[in-house]
Chains A and B, each alone.
Chain A
Amino acid sequence: MEKITFRLNHNDVEVQVERNWTLLYVLREILNLTSVKPGCHTGDCGACKVIIEGEAVNSCLVRAVNVQGKSIETVEGLSLNGKLHPLQQAFIDCGAVQCGYCTPGMLMSAKALLDKNPSPTEEEIKEAIGNNYCRCTGYYKIVEAIRQAAEMMREVKGE
């Protein structure tokens, strides 16, 4: 076991981990952040995506010891003071949520995109979620939700 500290959803955390533990395992099983979903354990479905230092990453492929000192976001940190993030609201309103299992990973990919690119094209949105599988929606309403959220966020900023 070794001790690591990192920034998780705006708070510092400290946790004892084995060297071979994945970040997915630590977030779900040790820290109980169950928004982070296992889907394949091979980095191919995107259900376990979290944001590490601004990049959406499959947490099943990251060793927990390697996030020492880094900043990590999960869906649990997306809404602030009970108010949904525009992406969360748009996912609800657009019907982008069906079974909901891919939703947290999709939200993470989408947020990492909009944080860097507030006005993405449709192609850029599809590329950003290109490593996220969804079996329910055909992605249509997810792409639309991300577009709408981007629009909402730009309006709030007064652009």
Chain B
Amino acid sequence: MKDYAVIGKRVPIHDAALKVTGQYKFTDDLKLPGMLYAQVLFSPVPHARIKSIDTSAAEALPGVRAVATYKNSPRVKYNSTTRLYTQKWIENECIFDDTVRFVGDRVAAVAADTLEIAKKAVRLIKVEYEELPYYTDPLEAMAEDAYPIHGDSNIAGKIYQNAGDVEKGFAEADYIFEDTYTTPAVHHGAIETHSAIAHFDARGKLTVISANQNTFGTRVVLSRIFGLPLSRIRVINPGMGGAFGGKLEVTIEPIVAQLARMTGRPVKLTYNRRETMISTRTRHAAIITLKTGVKKDGTIVAQDFKVITNTGAYAGSAMNVVGAMSGKVYKVYKIPNLRFTGYPVYTNTPCAGAMRGYGSPQAFFAQQCQLQKIAKALNMDFAELQLKNMVDPDGVDQRTGKPIGNPRPKDCLRRALELQKNWEPLSDEGGKYSIGVGMALGCHGSSTFDAHLDQACIMIKMNEDSSCIMFTGTHEMGQAAITAQLQVVSEVLKLPLDMIDVVCGDTDLCGWNVGDFSSRGIYVTLYAVEKAAEAAKAALLRVAAIMLEEDVSSLELSESHVYSKVNGKKVERYRVMDYAQQVLNEDIICTANHHATMAPGSYGVHIARVRIENSTGKVEVTDYIAVQDVGKVINRLGAEGQIEGSVHMGIGYALCEKLEFDAMGKAKNSSFRKYKMLQAAEMPRLQIDFIEEYEPTGPFGAKSKAECAVVAVAPAVINAICNALDMEIKDLPYEYNRK
């Protein structure tokens, strides 16, 4: 394999020095002169028409500058996860509506001189509600005679995918298994809550600073709401304190924009933890009925997924998440007959949206748990059943017969089994503990190609000393995507990292970029970076060729010079830049675009070992192995970090994380006091490895990893518990439900 200077090395995240000194400024850390503070009034009822709303007492409170409700705000309906200017997805959400659809829906917002005044003012708003029928259970909501939350049905849509003939496949099967699995709504748990600042200036330009993973899409939504050309909207992401999909969708940006428009002053709104948990987005709860037909030898001949997701009160990612889920199941096994039917359903509960894995964690939890059960029933080693059915590197999507990249789940599995040999024996301490080991396969895609255009534009601006600035639409949230981009510029332009800096996450300054989700940062944007860096290199060599009177093809870059590979003639890089400036009268600025032409699968095989205290039933994950097929590791430190964080999130999903609602859809555990995530002492001993077998369509052979890594975790842990206790578990999270 090619030897690189910085690609594949351990590079700390580029902005780490700012983050360890407190100099890194997140949205809520910012204050603008004259800035007002906002608070939102949330609905206390699950479904109601607003009969009357009286804001006079709030408006009369000294220091209150504006009170926004449905009566004085644009009622333009939008879809919160929109990306493209011409895209029209189901649009049924607006800033404020005359109807509230869940406990925690937005009713009104106040902008005031201080946060205290804003809080007081919100409590002075009087609302009378005319209550409507409501549903918290998607099965009730989807009944034909149910009162519709939108339009004429609570079924937001149907996703149907098919390969082969499932009924024929079941007829050929020796055994058929059918089980129903459920997964809960969960909270993303980014430690930074949602925050945004907006300003509408005298030229009519709206600037929104927001912790948001989708600045260009947010700009489109704001343009529709406020009727502004994109030149009059600037969305800036200053960096996010974690996001995990929870900051993909438009949530609070239109509120601050409206308050800024009403007041002519900058307005900041920061949700607290409870508000973020309830009134932004969650991961879709799902009910998955899975029917699988197998031969006696373990060959899977047919599989039928029937999925119902609870998408909450508004469309948002309703169709996208189930759509993404439907595609992923065609990337893992050689199942000739595979059908997927999915229904996202509206209920009067908080909106579900994007979250790390985007549909895959739900589908693979069901599939991997059922497959282990099948292996047991066939008296077959689970690894053997996996290997018999997993796709090979030349595997295809059964629906289309088209390649799915260079899939390496088998390599992951074999490597994971090797790593398992490193485990120390674990004692049951004389019957005090039950011990179990579980395995699971996870898969996710790379890019939004399967759903819509996936494209990025990168600009590199060379300075006189031959250092450079990269302009990228990438959104920084700790994923180290920008660090990888700087590594690529460094590699191609042979510049040390301190000779490169970055401008990012700003719709006015950066080239268009879909947004940072869909595991596309490495696979798509990094490719655009490579192309832009190659273009900058070509520009340097072109100027040097004139200076040296050499053919451009004979020239190469070193850290300090451009030199001829033929005769050793050379010129310092800064002199090349000087020549471009003073003789050719040129500034060297290069842009490059890249768009995805497929969405290769990434894979992970994970093995978990659990120890369960028999007297209490308490589960401890003691050991963990995660092997990920990533094509090529760009930054080993960052890649490990993504897997480690995924293991944290996935074990929480398996054991303890669940947003729970009462009969009215009011959250029972909307605080970190009650919603438990794993602490340091609860993490297992962990071994990580990567399969680097090169994805031909990815930059330097790389494909996605950061979402894929979470997919296998919960089923691996649950399978381990099932083995330890010789039981079946069909509902997440195990520990939470047990109590």
Contacts and interface: CB of A to CB of B under 8 A. Distances in A.
Interface string A40-83: 11101101000000000000000000000000001110110000
B679 A135 contact: no
A135 B648 contact: yes
A38 B193 contact: yes
Contacts, number: 173
Given A37-B192, A97-B20, A140-B683, A44 B641 contact: no
Given A107-B20, A135-B244, A136-B242, A39 B192 contact: yes
A34 B22 contact: yes
Given A37-B191, A41-B273, A91-B16, A100 B478 contact: yes
Contact of B680 (A76, A104, A143): A143
A133 B672 contact: yes
Given A138-B645, A138-B647, A99 B477 contact: yes
Given A99-B190, A99-B240, A84 B21 contact: yes
Contacts of B240: 99
Given A38-B28, A100-B19, A135 B10 contact: no
B322 to A, nearest CB: 25
B189 A135 contact: yes
A149 B192 CA distance: 26
Contact of B640 (A39, A93, A95): A95
B191 A98 contact: no
A136 B641 CA distance: 7
Contacts of B17: 84, 92
A117 interface: no
B696 interface: no
B241 A37 contact: yes
Given A97-B20, A99-B240, A135 B12 contact: no
Given A100-B19, A102-B191, A140-B644, A130 B681 contact: yes
A93 B239 CA distance: 21
A92 B641 contact: no
B587 interface: no
B107 interface: no
Interface size class of A (residues with CB under 8 A): 35 or more
Given A98-B478, A140-B644, A45 B10 contact: no
Contacts of B191: 37, 39, 45, 47, 99, 101-102, 133-135
B477 A76 contact: no
Nearest to A79: B21
Contacts of A40: 272-273, 671-673
A131 B644 CA distance: 19
Contacts of A141: 637, 640-641, 644
B673 A44 contact: yes
Nearest to B639: A95
Contacts of A45: 191, 273, 672
B350 interface: no
Given A39-B192, A40-B672, A136-B641, A98 B480 contact: yes
Given A38-B193, A126-B680, A138 B20 contact: no
Pick the most buried of A47, A102, A125, A136: most chain B CB atoms within 10 A of its CB. A136
B29 interface: yes
B479 interface: yes
Contacts of A97: 12-13, 16, 19-20, 478
Contact of B637 (A42, A74, A95): A95
Contacts of B12: 92-93, 95, 97
Given A42-B673, A139-B683, A95 B22 contact: no
Interface of A: 28, 33-42, 44-45, 47, 74-76, 78-79, 84, 88, 91-93, 95, 97-104, 107, 123, 125-127, 129-143
Given A33-B22, A101-B191, 6 more contacts: A28-B29, A39-B273, A76-B21, A92-B17, A99-B192, A133-B679
Interface of B: 10, 12-13, 15-22, 24-26, 28-29, 188-193, 239-244, 270, 272-273, 477-480, 637-638, 640-641, 644-649, 671-673, 677, 679-681, 683, 686
5 contacts: A44-B671, A99-B240, A100-B239, A135-B677, A139-B648
